[in-house]
Amino acid sequence: MSTAKATAGADRSAADSSEQYLTFMLAGEEYGVDILRVQEIKGWDKVTRIPHTPDYVLGVINLRGAVVPILDLRRRFGLETIDFGPTTVVIVVRVVSGRSERTVGVVVDAVSEVYNVDASDTKPPPDVCGSVDTMFVKALATIEDKMLILLDIDRLIGNSIIDELLPAGAAA
Amino acid sequence: MSLDVEMAEIAKVFFQESREGLDVMESGLLSLDATADSENINTIFRAAHSIKGGSATFGFTEVAEFTHGVETLLDEMRNGVRPVTSEAIQTLLQACDCLREMVAATEAEQPLDQARIATLNGDIRHILGERPAEKPAVPGHGGADVPAAADPAANGPSGWRIVFEPVVDLLRLRNEPTRMFAELQRSGALSAQADISRLPLLDALEPESCYLSWTIDIAGQIPRAKLDEVFDWVDSHCRLEFTPTGAAAPAVPVAATAAAISAAPAETKAVAAADPERAPTAGAPLQKAGTESGSIRVATEKVDDIINLVGELLITQSMLSGFADGIDPNDLDRLRQGLSQLARNTRELQESVMQIRMLPISFAFNRFPRIVHDLSRKLGKKVELKLTGEGTELDKTVLEKISDPLVHLVRNALDHGLETPDRRLAAGKHETGTIELAAFHEGGNIIIEVRDDGAGLNKARILQKARERALIPADQELTDEQIDNLIFMPGFSTAEQISDVSGRGVGMDVVRRNINDLGGHVQISSRAGLGSTIRIRLPLTLAILDGQLVRVGKEVYIISLLAIVETIQVTKERVNTLAGRAEVFRLRDEYLPVVKLCDQFGVEPDSRSAEDGLLVVVESDGKRAGVLVDDLLAQQQVVIKSLESNFKSVSGIAGATILGDGTVALIIDVPDLIRSIAGRGGEVTAHAA
């Protein structure tokens, strides 16, 4: 894949093997997504609920004329839900599944940082990786003595959407 | 490098144009059946000629060679040397099919079906083989046959001297002499001398004019046809002289100037003004390109983008109108005035943009003459096909999706509906049957009818078959109309013999499903001995919809106005329960299943009891149901947005739209809702509980 462009003040990224990740917080853990996939970050706003969908699909919003689904990552990972607060944000990402590209918003506790992650700093995920199914984890990275969980957004969201629907009623 | 990309782009246009040309040829050939008028043959010939020229230019030699044979045959027909026989037309039609495949294969860079090409080439040669001996073997382009005697190609001259004097406008007509020279150079060693005598002084020189002419010497045993090919595109814009050089060549120079120049030099200007591909042929009247509809080719995505933008404009406008209710009353009138103007403008803009997507239904109808022609031959039936309302416009997507179901219906009408000529005569009818395809507007819908004057449906047999297959209960009484419409049931086919035309039991139900998916409706009526009529009702477009906003609890949904029959206040005594669970509502003399949207979609309603709500009676596919909602809100036109583009399809939901306040509302899929209650019977409420 393409590498992140070196930005001013980010001289560490000069190496070809480094990629930029946007990180966010979720129940105390820090996750990262490829910044090239992030379209925008917006505040939490009311959604229109869709019937017959799993509970982590909160609904759809109007994003400048496009109807975009919003997923709750806490629910997706089976974490305890919290009330949405002032730091709660929706990260709008582009997801590739098969030949089609979708725009999907994910609700997270808060956005954190943008890091340059060098390939040499990453490790493959161990079998057990917090509350997240390892198939959604691309790698673990260590930055400034913190652990980042780098997510494979295509798998995570592609899977969430294509997943067989839970019976209606479970959504309520 | 960039040239390749450019060429690929141009080649794409060529493929497109070839297909259009083939369509022209096909429809021309089909009408040739009846009358062999020379204008028609000319049209077909020109189409073939353009394809030949184009394919040669792009180096698709196999296509060019094949078309060449076709063109030769057409040329002879045009010159009245060859009679127009039905056999020849049949061969030419097959050649059209073959060419279409060749073009498709070339575009996809797939190997060509050589066996088929060879067979058809053989057929064409066979017809040409019966030719009168005195006609020349090589057909000239542009209609001017080169006398065979003067063509020394057979003896193989060792070279040619070509005098090439283009008109001043050559470059402006988008011809490039250097490319032609490069092409010539591929055939043999080339030396050219430019004549600069026409070159004006520098201050009078126009950079886009061509003042040069050339004398070209080219060495090598090159067939004359090869040279013609190079100059094919420009032959009406220049003076050309070909003189064979070398020992084997006869000393007589061949003055094969372009027909337009030698015959009528004054015409050159007119020719240049017209489309260069359609240069008139000698003897043929100068034909203006009257058949072109003055259309432009626009990528569908671009149009979709505009439609989205306009949809947003509408949203902004309705947002503004909502906002206007709460400001200073003194300015209000002016603001309202401005807003109503904005509303009018946006609506007009939307309508005209929607028009871009609308295409005349003739795009779908045009394939039927050929289908009917082929099929009637195969079945030994005599058919006249009547098309009416071809100009009726329909959304491109609807048009594309309705095409196949229509083909199926027409095939069925021909195969099952119409009788054989002797049976028709025996029944006291004319031996030629009629199939009529008609399209027209009715209300906000498009109606397409497929009518035949055949035997009509055999009601007794349909009923018997339906009972045999347990499609209906054995004791159920049905009206004539209900019996006719049984043929749309899945797994129904009464054809006594399975033919390759129809009768496999798939089909009519698929036809109905496709039409329903388009938001349409299909229905058949027939009278024994007089024929059947299939009536398809389609929405004008899939992009916008007249919607009724309904409220359930705190949520707003949209129901298409087309699906709504009526809305009624519910009274307690008219609601009954079946098996203790499913509720039905008595409306006059029928019982409607009640769909509680709150249960169906898992919403918390104002009240769970039916009598506090309103019942929206909806219909799809002849089946009705009552949808229970808390309240009716406004009616408005909504722009349909797909849920699938960023999410996936959801059962019971046809799509989404954006309301005036910027929020998303879901559109209820009425056919799906009704299908689901029909399929699951009383389970609906149980399932949602």
Cα gap B513→B399, rounded to integer Å: 16
Q: What confidence tens digit (pLDDT) does each residue in B449-464 have?
A: 999 998 888 888 888 8
pLDDT at B298 over 90: no
User: CB B656 to CB A46 under 8 A?
Assistant: no
B interface mutation test: which of A60, A61, A90, A101 has the most B CBs within 10 A? A60
If one looks up domain B544-688 in CATH, what number appears?
A: 2.40.50.180
Q: What confidence tens digit (pLDDT) does each residue in B346-397 have?
A: 878 877 777 787 888 888 888 888 888 888 888 888 889 999 998 888 888 8
Fold of B362-539: Heat Shock Protein 90 (3.30.565)
Query: Is residue A131 very low, low, confident or very high in pLDDT (cuts 50, 70, 90)?
Result: low
Cα gap B367→B550, rounded to integer Å: 43
Cα gap B67→B495, rounded to integer Å: 41
Question: For chain A, where are the alpha helices, taking DSSP H only?
Answer: 73-76, 153-162
A32 alpha-carbon distance from chain centroid: 7
**Chain B contact for A53 (CB, 8 A cutoff):** yes
User: CB A66 to CB B648 under 8 A?
Assistant: no
**Chain B contact for A104 (CB, 8 A cutoff):** yes
* Nearest residue of A to residue B651, measured between CA atoms: A52
Contact yes or no for B635/B548 (Cβ under 8 A): yes
Q: Would you state the pLDDT for residue B119?
A: 84
Instruction: Report, as an integer, the average pLDDT of B654-675.
Output: 87
User: Coil, strand or helix: which one is B312?
Assistant: helix
Contact yes or no for B120/B91 (Cβ under 8 A): yes
Contact yes or no for A37/A20 (Cβ under 8 A): no
Cα gap B307→B395, rounded to integer Å: 13
Look at strands A89-97 and A66-72 and give their pairing.
Answer: unpaired
Contact yes or no for B218/B192 (Cβ under 8 A): no
Q: Would you state the pLDDT for residue B245?
A: 74
User: CB A65 to CB B650 under 8 A?
Assistant: no
Q: Would you state the pLDDT for residue B267?
A: 39
Instruction: Report, as an integer, the average pLDDT of B620-631.
Output: 85
> How close does chain B come to A8, measured CA to CA in Å?
34
Amino acid symbol at B74? L
Please list, residue by residue across B395-405, b when 16 or more beta carbons sit within 10 angstroms of its beta carbon and e when fewer do.
Answer: bbebbebbeeb
Cα gap B216→B33, rounded to integer Å: 47
Q: Would you state the pLDDT for residue B473?
A: 74
User: In what side-by-side order are the strands of the sheet with B383-388?
Assistant: B383-388, B433-442, B445-452, B531-539, B521-527
**Chain B contact for A96 (CB, 8 A cutoff):** no
**Chain A contact for B518 (CB, 8 A cutoff):** no
**Phi, psi (degrees; rounded to nearest 5) at B122:** -60, -45
Q: What confidence tens digit (pLDDT) does each residue in B465-485 have?
A: 788 777 777 777 777 877 888
pLDDT at B326 over 90: no
Q: Of B277-281, B506-510, B648-652, which one has max mean pLDDT? A: B648-652
Residue B358 sits at the vertex; the CA angle it makes with B357 and B360, to the nearest 5 degrees, is 145
Q: Would you state the pLDDT for residue B227?
A: 74
Q: What confidence tens digit (pLDDT) does each residue in B148-175 have?
A: 344 444 445 677 788 888 877 777 777 7
Q: What confidence tens digit (pLDDT) does each residue in A40-53 have?
A: 999 998 899 999 88
Cα gap B504→B492, rounded to integer Å: 9
Long-range contacts of B226-232 (CB under 8 A, 24+ apart): B226/B187, B227/B160, B227/B162, B227/B184, B227/B187, B228/B140, B228/B141, B229/B56, B229/B64, B230/B180, B230/B183, B230/B184, B231/B164, B231/B180, B232/B53, B232/B56, B232/B57, B232/B141
Amino acid symbol at B623? K
- The H-or-E segment that residue B129 falls in is helix B114-129
Instruction: Report, as an integer, the average pLDDT of A52-63.
Output: 91
Query: What is the pTM (predicted TM-score) of this model?
Result: 0.53
- Per mean pLDDT, which range of B224-228, B336-340, B522-526, B572-576 is the poorest? B224-228
In this prediction the ipTM stands at: 0.80
Q: Would you state the pLDDT for residue B311?
A: 79
Q: Would you state the pLDDT for residue B415?
A: 84
pLDDT at B510 over 60: yes
End-to-end CA distance of chain A: 40
**Chain A contact for B600 (CB, 8 A cutoff):** yes
Domain ranges of chain A: 11-162
Q: Would you state the pLDDT for residue B285?
A: 36
A76 alpha-carbon distance from chain centroid: 11
Contacts B317 to A, Cβ<8 Å: none
User: Coil, strand or helix: which one is B365?
Assistant: helix
Q: Would you state the pLDDT for residue B271?
A: 38
DSSP state for residue B506 in the 8-state scheme? -
Contacts A172 to B, Cβ<8 Å: 602
Q: What confidence tens digit (pLDDT) does each residue in B538-557 have?
A: 877 777 788 999 999 899 99
Cα gap B494→B416, rounded to integer Å: 9
If one looks up domain B144-274 in CATH, what number appears?
A: 3.30.70
User: CB B663 to CB A53 under 8 A?
Assistant: no
Q: Would you state the pLDDT for residue B246?
A: 62
Q: Compare B422 and B237 and report the one with higher pLDDT.
A: B422
DSSP state for residue B150 in the 8-state scheme? G
Cα gap B160→B153, rounded to integer Å: 10
Separate counts of helices (H) and strands (E) for chain B: 21, 22
If one looks up domain B2-135 in CATH, what number appears?
A: 1.20.120.160
Q: For residue B146, how many other CB atoms are within 10 A of its CB?
A: 20
**Chain B contact for A69 (CB, 8 A cutoff):** yes
Q: Would you state the pLDDT for residue A128?
A: 64
User: CB B645 to CB A66 under 8 A?
Assistant: yes
pLDDT at B495 over 60: no
pLDDT at B142 over 60: no
Q: What confidence tens digit (pLDDT) does each residue in B64-103 have?
A: 888 888 888 888 887 777 777 778 888 888 888 888 888 8
Instruction: Report, as an integer, the average pLDDT of A1-20.
Output: 51
Contacts of B544 (CB under 8 A, 6+ apart): B350, B354, B637, B638, B639, B640
Q: Would you state the pLDDT for residue B580?
A: 67
Look at strands B590-596 and B623-629 and give their pairing.
Answer: parallel
Cα gap B438→B453, rounded to integer Å: 14
* Nearest residue of B to residue A162, measured between CA atoms: B648
User: CB B642 to CB A52 under 8 A?
Assistant: no
**What is the Cβ-side half-sphere exposure of residue B100, based on CA atoms within 13 angstroms?**
14
Instruction: Report, as an integer, the average pLDDT of B133-154.
Output: 41
Cα gap B595→B605, rounded to integer Å: 13
Query: Is residue B443 very low, low, confident or very high in pLDDT (cuts 50, 70, 90)?
Result: low
Q: Would you state the pLDDT for residue B386?
A: 92
Query: Which positions of B are annotated as active-site residues?
Result: 49, 71, 412
- The H-or-E segment that residue B455 falls in is none
pLDDT at B57 over 60: yes
Cα gap B205→B102, rounded to integer Å: 46
Contact yes or no for B139/B72 (Cβ under 8 A): yes
Instruction: Report, as an integer, the average pLDDT of B507-511.
Output: 77
Please list, residue by residue across B1-11, b when 16 or more beta carbons sit within 10 angstroms of its beta carbon and e when fewer do.
Answer: eeeeeeeeeeb
pLDDT at B434 over 80: yes
Bridge partners of A63, per DSSP, are: A66
pLDDT at A124 over 80: yes
User: Coil, strand or helix: which one is B191?
Assistant: strand
Amino acid symbol at B167? V
Q: Would you state the pLDDT for residue B153?
A: 42
Q: Of A109-123, B23-37, B517-531, which one has max mean pLDDT? A: A109-123
User: Coil, strand or helix: which one is B346?
Assistant: helix
Cα gap A132→A129, rounded to integer Å: 6
Percent of chain B with pLDDT over 70: 81
Q: Would you state the pLDDT for residue B275?
A: 40
Fold of A11-162: OB fold (Dihydrolipoamide Acetyltransferase, E2P) (2.40.50)
Cα gap B89→B29, rounded to integer Å: 6
**Chain A contact for B665 (CB, 8 A cutoff):** yes
Query: Is residue B574 very low, low, confident or very high in pLDDT (cuts 50, 70, 90)?
Result: confident
User: CB B645 to CB A104 under 8 A?
Assistant: no
The two tokens of residue A24 are: 């966010």
